[in-house]
Amino acid sequence: MFQFSSDTILFGVLRLCAIAAGSVLLLVFVFLVVESWPALSNVGLVRFFSDESWHPAGENGLFNLLPMLWGTLFVTAGSVLIATPLGIFSAIFCHYYAPSWMARVYRRLIELLAGIPSVVYGLWGLVVLVPLIRELQPPGPSLLAGIVILTLMILPTIALMADAAISNVPKQYLHSAAALGLSRWSTIIGVVVPAARSGLFAGVILGTGRAIGETMAILMVCGNVVQTPSSLFDPIRTLTANIALEMAYALNDHRSALFFSGLLLLLLIIVLASLAETVRVRGEVNV
């Protein structure tokens, strides 16, 4: 008898791998909390939302994160509102309206776009889109530019998820609808979309998460002025862009405040993930 058979060793090693992989999130969370602690204790939670502005450098720093929170919120909401119908109709197009060869090409295109790096979207936005918006209404880098770029970036996510959700609609639903003499459009609106709604919703949540977290493209096209926008053409700064822009030279409480905004982002994502989980569970119960 061996004291440790190869099975015991294997089991131990694999378990260790799983624990290590599972604890990465914990590690990230702990480090964000530890690093944002100085700001939380020196500045206090309230001042992140009540200070008069964001001027965190120097002796008497001011730490209002609200304008950037609004920036993140507006740019995310705008892009999700536009990308959702576009993505869902893309999937409907592939399933019900396009000739099969075209559906295949279109699907490939969307898959391809899902893999394009954000910095390439940013490059296009910076060189093509921003000057176009400047023609319309200076200065050019703006909330609008951010919304357009983000829409393009999250559209593939939403479209691919919608595509999968629509594929999973049971065939007998469609046969019944046809038997009832429903038109194609009525079938889609009345049968397919309701049946696929939990999948569609999951896609929208995934897209929202991606929009909240996007950094480089937003940094390149939004102008990065800390202000609550009053029009689509105002430049804005998001929480993510703020971190990318200032982390390189932030010190002390300022640096710690940036980690706090990272922590905020992480919490937002956790909320979104649990929302997605609820939807998934409920979807399974319903079907």
Partner 1 sequence: MSKGWDPGLVLSWTVAVIVAGAFCWLLGDVFWNGLGRVNWQFLTEAPRDAGRSGGIGPIIVSTMLILLVCMAASLPLGVGAAIYLSEFTDSEVGFGRMIRRSLEVLSGVPSIVFGLFGSAFFCIYLGLGFSILAGGLTLACMVLPILIRATEEGFRSVPSEYRLGGAALGMSRTRRLLYLSFPAALPSVVVGFVLGLGRAIAETAALIFTSGYVDRMPSSLFDSGRALSIHIFDTSMNVSGGEAQAYGTAVVLVFTLLSINLAASWITDRWLYRESIGS
Partner 2 sequence: MPLNCDQWRFKAEGNMNVHSCVKATIMLLIASFIGLALASCGNNDDTRKLVLTGSSTVAPLAAELAKRFEALHPGVRIDVQTGGSSRGIADARSGVADIGMASRSLKPEESDLFGTAIARDGIAIILHKTNPVEMLSDDQVVQIFKGTIKNWKDVGGLEAPISVINKAEGRSTLELFLKYYRLKSREVKASVIIGDNEQGIKTLVGNPNAIGYVSIGAAEFNVDAGTPIKILPTKGVEASSENVANGLFPLSRPLTLVTKEPPEGLAKEFIDFALSSDVHNLIKQLHFVPIQ
Hey, which residues between 59 and 118 contact partner 2 (CB under 8 A)?
62
* Cα–Cα distance, 280 to 180 (Å, whole number): 30
Binding to partner 2 in span 201-230, by CB under 8 A:
223-226
Which of 77, 132, 247, 251 binds partner 1 (CB under 8 A)? It is 247
CB of 217 to partner 2, least distance (A): 16
DSSP assignment string, 221-263: HSB---S--SSTTS-B--HHHHHHHHTTT--HHHHHHHHHHHH
Which of 1, 21, 179, 285 binds partner 1 (CB under 8 A)? It is 21
Residue 140 or 156 having the CB closest to partner 2? 140
Residues composing the chain: 287
* Cα–Cα distance, 145 to 131 (Å, whole number): 10
- Three-state secondary structure string covering 20-60: HHHHHHHHHHHHHHHHHHHHHHHCCCCHHHHCCCEECCCCC
CB of 7 to partner 2, least distance (A): 5
If one counts every other C-beta atom within 10 angstroms of the C-beta of residue 117, the result is 10
Residue 6 or 100 having the CB closest to partner 2? 6
7 binding partner 1? (CB under 8 A): yes
Which of 1, 19, 21, 26 binds partner 2 (CB under 8 A)? It is 1
Rg of the chain, C-alpha, whole Å: 23
Binding segment for partner 1 (CB under 8 A), chosen from 50-58, 60-68, 102-110, 228-236, is: 102-110
Q: Which two tokens stand for residue 59?
A: 């002796």
x/- track of binding to partner 1 for residues 122-141 (CB under 8 A): xxx-xxx-------------
Which of 106, 134, 275, 283 binds partner 1 (CB under 8 A)? It is 106
